[in-house]
A and B are shown apart, each in its own frame.
Chain A
Amino acid sequence: EAGVVQSPRYKIIEKKQPVAFWCNPISGHNTLYWYRQNLGQGPELLIRYENEEAVDDSQLPKDRFSAERLKGVDSTLKIQPAELGDSAVYLCASSSRTSGARSYEQYFGPGTRLTVT
């Protein structure tokens, strides 16, 4: 079974430029998460989707961040314009009621490392 796929793995941009990250969750997983992980810290939830609906976006900085999950499968996270403080690893995860042997176990992708210069 393929895991969570993210692209690109690395991205370097100048501040004020836009950037987008893409995530393909595990087939059949209706819940999708985006996390941000700063250096030396644990991941922090940005947004959670149930199918195509964003059910928890309370930690998403809405002035510059946006996300979508069209058709309830793939998802895109966008930053426009990027700031120096946005440099971090952006992780995507997915789960379902019956994922793995543990209900709602979250499976993470490898992340996209963003560097803003």
Chain B
Amino acid sequence: DAKTTQPTSMDCAEGRAANLPCNHSTISGNEYVYWYRQIHSQGPQYIIHGLKNNETNEMASLIITEDRKSSTLILPHATLRDTAVYYCIVRYSGGGADGLTFGKGTHLIIQP
């Protein structure tokens, strides 16, 4: 699986959009971008994933650049409960049930 690079930490004001960047310059054509988050004292939780098109669900939006070398997770209206470590993971599409390879992630702190 391709390596990802994320900022160590970020702050965002409550109610504003939180934009979390991820660099994955070595991604290959059959690899998806996944995002998970981990709230303190809990296990990781799936957020969203995509291949090349932008994706949106009830939790977030995922914007993938045209060359697929980077992506941005957007939390449109951040709340205090969104404070967590966010992991960007690149994963082979045929990986199916394979384990996930986590990096250190971005610690997002939502400020009141």
Contacts and interface: CB of A to CB of B under 8 A. Distances in A.
Contacts of B43: 4, 91, 93, 108-111
Interface of A: 4, 31, 33, 35, 40-45, 48, 50, 56, 91, 93, 95, 97, 100, 102-111
A101 to B, nearest CB: 9
Given A48-B99, A93-B44, 16 more contacts: A33-B99, A41-B102, A42-B102, A42-B104, A43-B100, A44-B102, A50-B97, A56-B98, A56-B99, A91-B44, A102-B46, A104-B96, A104-B97, A108-B42, A109-B43, A110-B42
Chain B: interface size category: 20 to 34
Contacts of B97: 31, 48, 50, 95, 97, 104
11 contacts: A31-B97, A42-B102, A48-B98, A97-B96, A100-B46, A102-B49, A104-B96, A105-B46, A106-B46, A106-B100, A108-B42
Interface of B: 41-46, 49, 85, 87, 95-105
Given A4-B43, A102-B49, A110-B42, A42 B99 contact: no
A95 B100 CA distance: 12
A113 B41 CA distance: 9
Nearest to A58: B99
